[in-house]
Amino acid sequence: MYKSICSHAVIAVLLIHPLGASAADATADENAFNPAFSLILSGAYASLQRDPAIPATGFAMNPNPGHEQGFNLGESEMGISANIDPQFRGVATLALDPAGGVSVENAFVQTTSLGDGLNLKFGRYFSGLGYLNEQHAHAWDFVDQPLVYATLWENQLGEDGVQLKWLAPTELFVELGGEIGKGRGFPGTDRAKNGSGAGVLFAHIGDDIGIEQSWRAGASLHRTRRADAESIDVPDMNGNAVTNLFSGDSQTVGLDLVWKYAPNGNMRDRYVKLQAEYFRRKESGDLTYDTAGANVTDSYAVTQSGWYMQGVYQFMPRWRSGLRYDRLDPGIAQVGALNAGNVIADYAFRPSRISWMLDYSPSEFSRLRLQLAHDNSRLRLADNQLFVQYIMSLGAHGAHSY
Amino acid sequence: MGTNSKALPQRHRDTEETTPDTIMRKYWPTCSAFCFSLCLCVSVVKRFCLFFLLLLSTTAHAALDVFACEPEWAALVQQLAGDKANIYTATAALQDPHRIEARPSLIARARRADLVVCTGAELEMAWLPVVLRESGNSKVQPGSAGYFEAASVVHMLEVPTRLDRGEGDVHAQGNPHIQTDPRNFLPVADALATRLMQLDPAHATEYRQRLAGFTQQWRAAIAKWEKQAMPLKGVAVVVQHKGFPYLSEWLRLQEVATLEPKPGMEPGAAHLSQVLGALQQHPARMVLRAAYQDARPSEWIAERAHIAAVELPYTVGGSEAAKDLYGLFDDTIARLLAGTK
């Protein structure tokens, strides 16, 4: 996830430069990255039977990152990182949009010398909730994020704020973390006032089982106050697509579990990785129905949830195959009396999807992937999808997290 | 975890009731997010710190906690520190040290370490930076006294003159597999003992004595191995991964081919056939691989070129006989000699 050369290499480069030793000659040319610089090139071909703009049934008021049809250039991701001084390390990841324009995906500073198991991070970062949320797109095991991440977190929750983590001094891995931020990413509503717009708490535990197995389990809690969250093209009881506005509290709990197995613990040849995550979001507040027409406001509360389970198997060096099952539950909304005839409370449909992938990595720095999916996330609009994807990594390519 | 998240709203309510501020109530979400994060972080951190301080004080910090990246450094620390160190070995002999994951267990162990002993030269680049960063342990960050790189005191071989990923997984500081030449353990032991004395001055005399003992025994052992290995001088070998330049330099083995087309890349059928063709021009006596490597490529070549496939322990624990550093080289020499027969 962190695309950087290791910090000790950076220090080593700094140390040997003034000496002008022969080792320094090799590192002094354009490949001596200080700061570490990396570029991810990715792209895909997608063949879909249905319009990707149609959201999952019951999730029209959630984001729909969807897919792009045909040949498409993915976001090229540019990463720069280095130790700033003995106290701080800086990381920036810029996403180059194929349509033009640059967006700041990550731009954070983290402490390196607080000690006592404390790590402080501030700036723009991916929240530490769940398991997949912190992983950059190039590290995903499938072309797309699970449905639950797509609908509840708009693929992944990015935040502008402060994160504090503490690791217990025990043999068992026990990590506690908290974040406060602006509420930049969905479901936050990008608050521009004093104070914080969203808070996250998470806890992780993990360990090895013998030499061949390892695991990590986590729990997360996310809270935000949503203000005037607008949703367009939401189907209503009368068969129209309207624009709604929601204001209220949003609270999400999540559980995640990852387990990995490799014969002799040697990940190079063969390994199995199983993971599952569950999120449940409760929202309650006021919904304004059809802001352009009827404009009726009354109470609204709903609990949405979703989970996925996936397994990836590296059956021989360089080759991996994976299977993932996704499921969502839009819940049954409690709609105030004024909107009872307007807003759909119960969709009586649970979206699901099954995806299979096969990928081949000629080296650590390149990967080619084929993915087939049967998407049943939209009522009566089952979709068979095919994706071909490439992910290439140039320049400094540092360590990935677990 | 469950109790923590349950305890949280309770704590929040407490703060709200003790400060019945109307503004606070009005901006409840803001304050709540702020408060519950901060309150929980601070109070939980404090409480846990206390709890663990109590735990730690009962176990008394008698020995140094050492986190060794590879088994050979764990074995060396064992030689130099004896019972003055609690040693945790992060990788096993049958694991490719390039491809370890930054597992939660490693992060937890690095958190407790007083000293991290690794090869360096980018060997652990794929996992160690994350482990050290996530550990939140300022004592063992690169550059501090608790971080030791063996490669920093060894004369490195195969330092690339050209850094290009087209050349495969090359290491800018040279080939990191320094543990295959026993002579490299002498400067490493010297520097490591100095570091132990620096971190644990109370036992400096003992470290100095142990270093002197080890150096003397090790020099004698090297002389013995060199004598045993006389018949290996000039023997042509094929290597599966470019992991033996130090061994080859020590024993004057002649490496004539490599099964990996580029360092870190899996040997494909086309490249293996090419190597086989080249072996007809320049025959070799055996093909070498480390215990953690896939046996198939070297067995494929061995069968067709009618040479011996030799699996070397590569590090402590890599074979039944390689129980410690002495066993590692006893077994390495024995296996090489068997390969020439």
Residue B131: closest CA among B144, B143, B113 = B113
Q: What is the C-alpha separation between A71 and A47, in angstroms, rounded? A: 9
CA angle B52, A169, B51 (to 5 degrees): 15
The residue in chain B having the minimum alpha-carbon distance to the alpha carbon of residue A89 is B133
Helix-then-strand count for chain B, H and E: 12, 8
* Interface size, chain A vs chain B, as Cβ–Cβ contacts under 8 Å: 257
The CATH classification number of A42-66+112-395 equals: 2.40.160.10
Chain A residues close to B174, C-beta within 8 Å? 23
What pLDDT was estimated at residue B269?
85
- Highest CATH level, class, for B64-225: alpha beta
Residue-wise pLDDT for B81-98, tens only, equals 999 999 999 999 999 888
Buried b or exposed e, range A276-303, using 16+ CB within 10 angstroms: bbbbbbebbbebbbbbeeeebbbebbbb
Q: How many CB atoms lie within 10 A of CB B63?
A: 17
Percent of chain B residues topping a pLDDT of 90: 65
Residue ranges matching CATH 3.40.50.1980 in chain B? 64-225, 229-340
Q: How many CB atoms lie within 10 A of CB A228?
A: 10
What pLDDT was estimated at residue A98?
83
Across the interface, do B52 and A197 touch by the CB < 8 Å criterion?
no
Residue-wise pLDDT for A194-236, tens only, equals 888 899 999 999 999 999 999 999 999 999 999 999 999 999 9
Q: How far is A172 from chain B (nearest CA, A)?
A: 6
Residue spans of alpha helices (H) in A2-103: 7-16, 22-27
Q: What is the C-alpha separation between B338 and B332, in angstroms, rounded? A: 10
Per-residue confidence at A385, pLDDT binned at 50, 70, 90?
very high
CA angle B47, B53, B59 (to 5 degrees): 145
Q: Which of A167, A182, A211, A226 best probes binding to B when mutated, by most B CB atoms within 10 angstroms?
A: A167
Q: Which of A220, A255, A268 best probes binding to B when mutated, by most B CB atoms within 10 angstroms?
A: A268
Query: Does the beta carbon of A317 lie under 8 angstroms from any beta carbon of chain B?
Result: yes
Chain B residues close to A191, C-beta within 8 Å? 30
Task: Return the beta strands (E) in B83-241 as ranges.
Answer: 85-89, 115-118, 147-149, 236-239
Residue B325: closest CA among B96, B93, B79 = B79
Is B308:B302 a contact under the CB 8 Å cutoff?
yes
| Strands lying side by side in the sheet with B254-258 | B254-258, B236-239, B286-290, B308-312
Per-residue confidence at A139, pLDDT binned at 50, 70, 90?
very high
Across the interface, do B122 and A9 touch by the CB < 8 Å criterion?
yes
| pLDDT at position A336 over 60 | yes
Q: What is the C-alpha separation between B149 and B260, in angstroms, rounded? A: 27
User: What SS3 class is residue A305?
Assistant: strand
Nearest residue, CB atoms, B174 vs list A23, A211, A317: A23
Nearest residue, CB atoms, B163 vs list A29, A86, A113: A29
The residue in chain A having the minimum alpha-carbon distance to the alpha carbon of residue B139 is A115
Q: How far is A205 from chain B (nearest CA, A)?
A: 8
DSSP assignment of A261-279, as one string?
E-GGG-TTT-EEEEEEEEE
Q: What is the C-alpha separation between A363 and A346, in angstroms, rounded? A: 49
Per-residue confidence at A122, pLDDT binned at 50, 70, 90?
very high
Helices B71-81 and B204-228, packing angle to 10 deg: 130
Amino acid identity at A126: F
Query: Does the beta carbon of A252 lie under 8 angstroms from any beta carbon of chain B?
Result: no
User: What SS3 class is residue B2?
Assistant: helix
Amino acid identity at B10: Q
Question: Strand pairing partners for A251?
Answer: A223, A282
Q: Residue B18 contacts by C-beta under 8 Å, 6 or more apart in sequence?
A: none
Residue A90: closest CA among A23, A15, A16, A7 = A7
Across the interface, do A22 and B292 touch by the CB < 8 Å criterion?
no
ipTM of the complex: 0.88
Across the interface, do A116 and B104 touch by the CB < 8 Å criterion?
no
Residue A282: closest CA among A228, A340, A342, A223 = A223
The CATH classification number of B229-340 equals: 3.40.50.1980
**What are A254's two structure tokens?**
């999540």
Chain A residues close to B92, C-beta within 8 Å? 211, 264-265
Nearest residue, CB atoms, B125 vs list A6, A170, A363: A6
Q: In which region does residue B304 sit, left (phi positive, over 0), alpha (psi from -120 to 50) or beta (all else)?
A: alpha
Query: Does the beta carbon of A346 lie under 8 angstroms from any beta carbon of chain B?
Result: no
Chain A residues close to B137, C-beta within 8 Å? 115, 117
**CB contact residues (below 8 A), chain A span 62-81, against chain B:** none
Work out the mean pLDDT of chain A and round it to a whole number. Answer: 89
Q: What is the C-alpha separation between B332 and B253, in angstroms, rounded? A: 13
Q: Which residue has the tokens 């087309």?
A: B261
Residue-wise pLDDT for B143-178, tens only, equals 899 999 999 999 999 888 777 777 777 788 899 999
**CB contact residues (below 8 A), chain A span 137-166, against chain B:** 164-166
pLDDT (average), residues A74-97: 90
Amino acid identity at A224: T
Chain A residues close to B142, C-beta within 8 Å? 6-8, 11-12
In sign, the C-alpha dihedral spanning B246, B250, B256, B259 is negative
For B205, phi then psi, to 5°, come to -60, -45
Q: What is the C-alpha separation between B78 and B82, in angstroms, rounded? A: 5
Q: What is the C-alpha separation between A300 and A292, in angstroms, rounded? A: 19
Domain boundaries, chain A: 42-66+112-395
Nearest residue, CB atoms, A219 vs list B1, B108, B132: B1
Residue-wise pLDDT for A275-307, tens only, equals 999 999 999 999 999 999 999 999 999 999 999
Across the interface, do B130 and A400 touch by the CB < 8 Å criterion?
yes
Q: What is the C-alpha separation between A10 and A7, in angstroms, rounded? A: 5
Amino acid identity at B200: D
Count of alpha carbons within 13 angstroms of residue B148, beta-carbon side: 30
Across the interface, do B104 and A205 touch by the CB < 8 Å criterion?
yes
Residue-wise pLDDT for B215-248, tens only, equals 999 999 999 999 999 999 999 999 999 899 999 9
Residue A156: closest CA among A169, A138, A172 = A138
